[in-house]
Structure 1
Amino acid sequence: MVVIDQDFEKRLMAGMPAKLQIIADGRNSNTAGTAQSYVNTIAADFTTRWRAENGPEANSGVKVTTRAWYNPSLETRWYMIPSLIGTITMMMTLMLTAMSVAREREAGTFDQLLVTPFRPSEIMVGKALPSMLVGLSQSTTILLVAQLWFQIPFTGSYFILYLGLVLFLSAAVGIGLFISSLAANMQQAMIYSFVLLMPFMLLSGLTAPIGNMPDILQYFTLINPLRYAISITHQVYLEDAGISQLLPEMLALVAIAAITLPFSAWLFRNRLT
């Protein structure tokens, strides 16, 4: 987007600095970099022509000054550390949830669940809530480390951040319970978890922008809850985003949880009976 001040020509004719703002979305680094290169070339050509028309003594022209929003110093930790809030939390939550029922089978206590007065859905809730609490505690620890140790300023709302984390953990728990219902022992649960964690992390936007990925991989990222968790964390932590701005990500997490949790409950119920 190009923003030109209304007095641009007037200030330029008077030999005064004139402002021209170019806003590029840095989340798509290739497109933003290409657009910035075009703008720099156009600005240099304009300045050359202006000074040729007005003489070498003309001091005015267009000078390009680049400034990054939300990370003015371009420090990598400002991007990576908030991303770890969702990444590390998902690793722990998925592993704990996936091994919850598998641990019962391997320990030989799985049959005892059959004679309890609890329904399968209640057993699932009992397996899911501790993992969610551990995930929230872990995300809080990483959040404190980011602010107190790495001195990354938090600009958003804690309520919105934790609302997004709860939705994210609900989706992650649904996937973990699905794995747990399929695995016969803890080794299988661990292998299944690692098989899912690797593509989840690679297709989350943590190491490479999603817009730079091939189109077919971008479609696969739509079912990745970690993608939305990292997006929510970045926008709340660095950009002070509100619920209206985060609504697409939150609705996507609700949709993933609404599919994985009932399906895991159905699978868990059939494995019990």
Structure 2
Amino acid sequence: MGARILALIVKEFLALFRDKRSRFVIVVPPLIQLLVFGYAATYDLDEAPFAVYDRDGGHAARDLLARFEGSPAFELERRIGSAGEIAGVIDAREVLLVVQVDQRFTADLAAGRQAKVQFLIDGRNSNTAQTVLDYASQIVAGFNRDWAAAHGLQGPPVSLVTRAWYNPNLESRWFFVTGLVGILTLVVTMMVTAMSVAREREQGTFDQLLVTPLRPAEILIGKAVPGLLIGLFEVSVVVLLAVVWFQVPLVGSLTVLYTGVVLFLFAAVGVGLMISSLAVTLQQALLGAFLFMVPAVILSGFATPIANMPEPVQWLTLIDPLRYYLVIVRGVFLEGAGFGLLIHQMWPLAGIALVTLVTAAWLFRHRMA
């Protein structure tokens, strides 16, 4: 019995390594995913852009703000001259944090009274917002210790007031549930389309399909439409659960949301059909889909911000359709963003969809020839 089992094990290894594609799948995907995880999956915060609204201008305010500018965690992006500019820089994602110093900051400290500093944080990504708040609070705490020691005070001289925009309580559920709208859509659509042609080849029914009067373009459309319809159904269910069950506010327009959904589904279907056209077996199609989906999720900014990634990795995220889709979904849910704000996410998504669908059509015709 042991000899037979050993012989079977040897046979499986020989069959596995005899196929070039199987050897590729065993070696290359783990290395790619290791590099992606190693560089992209980080919660560290480096050079987070922030703005300053210094209403005081005194020496104590300059001392506090100099600590922010000297910190490796922050990078001064802009100095604000009026309160009306704050909304614009946060809405446009120019900064993650606005530090507003009270106009009597230095005078209050000199008189031994508590001085006020306000943090205005972009709360759309609750993880990043919490990290920004932690780092900024540490800087204020260091200023408090030094000022109290130098002036013989007991309590903290600076009182910190914090406000998070678009997610006042920094509930991580709002961030992750809206992200799951994109990830679940990608998983279901990719699986349906990636397996479509490969399943036919493995079952031996693809040749029968070729002798029908259907043209290649018609066969391709027939393979794409189920993925699109299932994806739309999946999105609708997840959006409904997000609003009704998880109580995530949907403050934007469904028209804007579903425009982004359709563009993303076309891109996902195009990638899935490309994989399905290249795969010979169902196993290869599943592995190909897995190879695409894991880096796509990591590079999308779902869990860790893209701004924290090394610059070459940030360039790589530009070809990830999930990156743009998550911005659209979260923008509609949490910000109420319209076409004007989200057009810069929609046109790259439309471009990726066009390229993937055209490439899938070419591969499909080439493999049928």
TM-score normalised to structure 2 length = 0.64
Task: Mark the CA change 1:152 to 1:263 in structure 2 (over 3 Å): closer, same or farther.
Answer: same
Q: Tell me the distance in 1 between the aligned counterparts of 2:189 and 2:207.
A: 25
1:185 corresponding residue in structure 2: 281
1:124 and 2:220 matched: yes
**Cα deviation per residue 1:39-95 (whole Å; 9 max; x = unaligned)?**
6767x59x97xxx8xxxxxxxx86321111111111111111111001011001001
Q: Is the 8 A contact 1:92 1:135 kept in 2?
A: yes
Q: Is the 8 A contact 1:3 1:21 kept in 2?
A: no
Comparing 255-264 with 63-72, which one deviates more in the overlay? 63-72
2:243 corresponding residue in structure 1: 147
Q: Tell me the distance in 1 between the aligned counterparts of 2:203 and 2:247.
A: 45
SS of residue matched to 2:200: helix
**Cα deviation per residue 1:133-187 (whole Å; 9 max; x = unaligned)?**
1011111111111111111111111110110011011101110000000001211
1:239 corresponding residue in structure 2: 335
Q: What amino acid does structure 2 have at the position aligned with 1:254?
A: A
Tell me the CA shift for residue 113 of structure 1.
2.4
SS of residue matched to 1:269: helix
**Cα deviation per residue 1:86-139 (whole Å; 9 max; x = unaligned)?**
101100100110001111111211112222222212211111111011011111
* Aligned ranges 1:23-102 → 2 under 5 Å: 23-25=120-122, 34=135, 38=139, 63-102=159-198
1:174 and 2:270 matched: yes
Q: Is the 8 A contact 1:121 1:265 kept in 2?
A: yes
Q: Tell me the distance in 2 between the aligned counterparts of 1:162 and 1:92.
A: 17
Q: Tell me the distance in 2 between the aligned counterparts of 1:257 and 1:32.
A: 38
2:355 corresponding residue in structure 1: 259
**Cα deviation per residue 1:4-55 (whole Å; 9 max; x = unaligned)?**
678946xx89xxx99865544455656676566556767x59x97xxx8xxx
2:306 corresponding residue in structure 1: 210
Q: Tell me the distance in 2 between the aligned counterparts of 1:74 and 1:193.
A: 34
Tell me the CA shift for residue 269 of structure 1.
0.5
SS of residue matched to 2:252: coil
SS of residue matched to 2:267: helix
**Cα deviation per residue 1:227-272 (whole Å; 9 max; x = unaligned)?**
1111111111001111111112111111111111111101100111
Q: Is the 8 A contact 2:251 2:332 kept in 1?
A: yes
Q: What amino acid does structure 1 have at the position aligned with 2:312?
A: I
Task: Point out where structure 2 has 5 or more consecutive residues left out of the alignment.
Answer: 1-50, 56-81, 83-101, 109-113, 152-156
Comparing 160-169 with 205-214, which one deviates more in the overlay? 205-214
2:52 corresponding residue in structure 1: 2
1:195 corresponding residue in structure 2: 291
Q: Tell me the distance in 2 between the aligned counterparts of 1:242 and 1:89.
A: 21
Q: Is the 8 A contact 1:160 1:242 kept in 2?
A: yes
SS of residue matched to 1:68: strand
Q: Tell me the distance in 1 between the aligned counterparts of 2:169 and 2:119.
A: 19
Q: Tell me the distance in 2 between the aligned counterparts of 1:64 and 1:251.
A: 41
Give aligned pairs, total: 268
Task: Point out where structure 1 has 5 or more consecutive residues left out of the alignment.
Answer: 53-60
Percent of pairs identical after alignment?
48
RMSD: 3.2
